[in-house]
Structure 1
Amino acid sequence: MRIAILGNQGSWYCRELKAAAEARGHQACTLEFRDLAALLSGQSMEQFCCYDADEQQINLNQFDCLIIRTMPPGSLEQVIFRMDLLGRLEQAGVTVFNTPRAIECAVDKYLTTSRLAAAGLPVPATAVCESSAAAMQRFEELGGDVVVKPLFGSEGRGIFRISDPDLAYRSFRTLERTQSVIYLQQYVAHPGYDLRILILNGTVTGAIRRHNQTDFRTNISRQGRAEAYTPTEEEVQLALRASDLTQAEFAGVDLLPPVDAPETRYLLEVNAVPGWRGLQSATNVNVAALVIEYLEQKRNNAGASNAP
């Protein structure tokens, strides 16, 4: 197969995927979102391209698979164009992984949380609004102790906890002035760890318990520490249901056990561009190799279904 990896040049994850692909006889290269382009003409099929570091044009139509390894921040126009282009590439026959529909849902915390809540799955009490006045009202209703998250974001970036009303007001006013959506979740006291369950094609690939004694964020990128974990059947089913609701074939599902209800597992996030570096170091599971093997099966199945 010819595989393109949409990620950051120099990324550990891109290197892992590229090495795993080449070890199985495939061609792979890393491209960046900022270099994507589309060429339209009524006389020929739409062309999708990307430009490398030497400004050389690469035809995206030639690839069999496109692995999305990042979703960088951007303007509304940029985000819409990226998602539209990924959707058009998929329609042109390129296997986009995860699918654009799954990426669109999972990168949007409001959309993901609302789908989980509508399905009756346990999520922290959440409020989403645009005005600082509404945010202050929700702040009080959520107990005056909340976690503020960017609507789009990962690895714990831009997340902060507020329990001081004056600081909350100033923070919400700043977010309002920058035309940001204000996303608040009631702070859930936890025992210093959460759980990450990695799902691939409806199967648990691995699971870890992430500890951080100095920060309420347990992300490995925030100096969290990972240890191998065997999830219960209830945790597995919760993670599978969450990934299914976002239509993510490859997902990192984060669960949080609250101190006051240790048998409960809150769903914090469904990440359709999941990191697995901490999980791999703790479990020795070669995640990149499993991803490439799955894409081989996916392409083979697609070829068989299209055969005359």
Structure 2
Amino acid sequence: MKIGVVGTKGGWSTERLADTVGEIAGERLLIAIDEVRLDLPSGRALCNGVNLMDLDALIIKKIGSRYSPDLLDRLEILRYVAERGVPVFSSPLSILRVLDRLSCTITLQLAGIPMPPTTITESIDHALDAVREYGEAVFKPLYTSKARGMFVLRDGPEARKAVEEYKAENPIMYIQKTIDLQDSDLGLAFLGGEYLTTYARCKTNGAWNTTTESGGKYAPFDPPAEVIELARKAQSLFDLDFTCVDVALTDEGPFVFEVSAFGGFRGLLEARNIDAARLYAEYVLKKVDK
């Protein structure tokens, strides 16, 4: 059986998934999307001598080393492959809905999922009003992961200059009230819509966020049933085959930050000793083999 893994060469989770799929399916096929040629007259999608249209399935692990709007166009190539009959996990359309932070947020908000107070604006004055109302706010680029490009801002005489500089690179500003994370937040993992387990990302220093790039460490955590059900509802809105829902437990109750299309493998392994790559590979083979 030929199953390709779409990912970034050298990436830890990509290589792990490609190795596992190769071991189980009998052939290792790692597809770097930036090396694909989509030829619309013939309908072929070629990568290093492989026509993706001839594969039994594709698993999308990563489509770029950094989040950017360019990834949306890469997903369109994979959408073409999927709609021509190749099973793709997760669906490119599902990933499109979570890749853009604003698209994900709007879907969650329309479904009544509790999130931190958030402002979306292109106006510097409105952005400053939000900072003033929130007391302290996090500015988040629409395409990012692991807190890259984010910064925390308090109201004060230097706030306008900081917002002006930020807006020069981020015309649409996503501004979220700072939430007391109580030194950790959670990743709740789901496979095929079924709950797997939860890990925590814990601060180990004075960083404002818990990401591993800021020194955060993974730890096991068992959330109450109502938090699991909240995360289950959040991920069900997107129909992803594998996902992690980022949740913060606060004095005001649980808040969902986002639903991720790509994360979770390392957290599950380090905190729970769960090999998500193997579980995902076995899940896909079972789906394809039906």
* TM-score for the superposition, normalised by structure 1: 0.87
User: Which residue is 2:211 aligned to?
Assistant: 219
Letter in 2 for 1:233: A
Question: Which region of structure 1 is more displaced relative to structure 2, 291-300 or 216-225?
Answer: 216-225
Distance 2:255 2:213 in 1: 21
Q: What is residue 67 of structure 1 aligned with on the other side? A: 59
Q: Alpha-carbon deviations, 1:83-117, whole Å to 9, x = none?
A: 22111110112222211121111111111111111
- 1:128-161 superposed Cα distances (whole Å, 9 cap, x missing partner): 12232332222223x2300111101112211221
| 3-state DSSP of counterpart to 1:265 | strand
1:222/1:67 Cα in 2 relative to 1: closer, same or farther (>3 Å)?
farther
Comparing 279-288 and 125-134, the one that deviates more: 125-134
* Distance (Å, rounded) in 1 between the aligned partners of 2:67 and 2:200: 32
Does the 8 A contact of 2:141 with 2:170 survive in 1?
Answer: no
Counterpart contact for 2:139–2:150, Cα < 8 Å: yes
2:290 matched to 1:298? no
Residues 68-147 of structure 1: matches in 2 within 5 Å? Answer: 68-72=60-64, 73=66, 76=69, 78-141=70-133, 143-147=134-138
Deviation at 1:222, TM superposition (A): 2.7
In terms of mean alpha carbon deviation, does 288-297 or 10-19 score higher? Answer: 10-19
Structure 1 187/9 Cα, relative in aligned 2: closer, same or farther at 3 Å? same
Which residue does 1:3 correspond to in 2? Answer: 3
Q: 1:306 — aligned with what? A: none
Residue aligning to 2:199: 208
Find the residue that maps to 1:226 and give its secondary structure: strand
Across the aligned residues of Structure 1 and Structure 2, the Cα RMSD in angstroms comes to 1.9
Shift of 1:5: 1.9
Is the alpha carbon distance of 1:114 and 1:2 closer, same or farther for their aligned partners in structure 2, counting shifts above 3 Å?
same
SS, match of residue 196 in structure 2: strand
Matches within 5 A, 1:233-252: 233-252=225-244
Q: Go from structure 1 to structure 2 and tell me whether the alpha carbon gap of 1:140 and 1:164 turns closer, same or farther (over 3 Å shift).
A: closer
- Give per-residue Cα distances to partners, 1:253-280, cap 9 Å, x unaligned: 111012x33xx11001110111321221
> For the residues of structure 2 that align with 1:190 and 1:280, how far apart are their CA atoms?
23
Contact 2:248 2:257 in 1 (8 A): yes
Contact 2:116 2:255 (8 Å CA) reproduced:
yes
Is contact 1:22–1:28 with CA below 8 Å preserved after alignment? yes
| Within-5 A mapping of 1:173-192 | 173-192=164-183
Q: How far does residue 248 in structure 1 lie from its aligned partner after superposition?
A: 1.6
In structure 2, relative to structure 1, the CA distance for the partners of 1:70 and 1:170 (3 Å cut) is farther
Q: What is the distance in 1 between the residues matched to 2:67 and 2:11? A: 19
| Off by >6 Å, runs of 4+ in structure 1 | none
Contact map agreement 1:211 1:218 (CA 8 A) in 2: yes
Cα contact 1:220–1:278 (8 A) shared by 2: no
Question: Per the alignment, in what secondary structure is the counterpart of residue 70 of structure 1?
Answer: coil
What is the CA-CA distance between 1:80 and the residue it aligns to? Answer: 4.2
The one-letter amino acid paired with 1:288 is A
Counterpart contact for 1:3–1:26, Cα < 8 Å? no
Aligned to 1:169: 160
Structure 2 letter corresponding to 1:293? E
Listed as ranges, the matches of 1:38-57 within 5 Å are 38-41=38-41, 44=42, 46-50=43-47, 56-57=48-49
Separation in 2, partners of 1:13, 1:157: 19
Report deviation, 1:74. Answer: 7.3
Moved more, 58-67 or 105-114: 58-67
Q: Could you list the per-position Cα deviations for residues 27-57 of structure 1 after superposition, in whole angstroms to 9, with x for gaps in the alignment?
A: 222222322221122xx4x11123xxxxx44
CA distance in 2, matches of 1:75, 1:225: 26
Aligned residues: 288
**Structure 1 residues 169 and 66, CA gap change in structure 2 (3 angstroms):** farther
Note the residue ranges of structure 1 that are not aligned, 5 or more in a row. 51-55, 302-308
Structure 1 position 276 matched with structure 2 position 268:
no
Aligned to 1:153: 144
Structure 2 Cα separation of the partners of residues 157 and 216 of structure 1: 12
Cα-to-partner distance string for 1:7-35 (whole Å, 9 max, x where unaligned): 21111111211221122133222222322
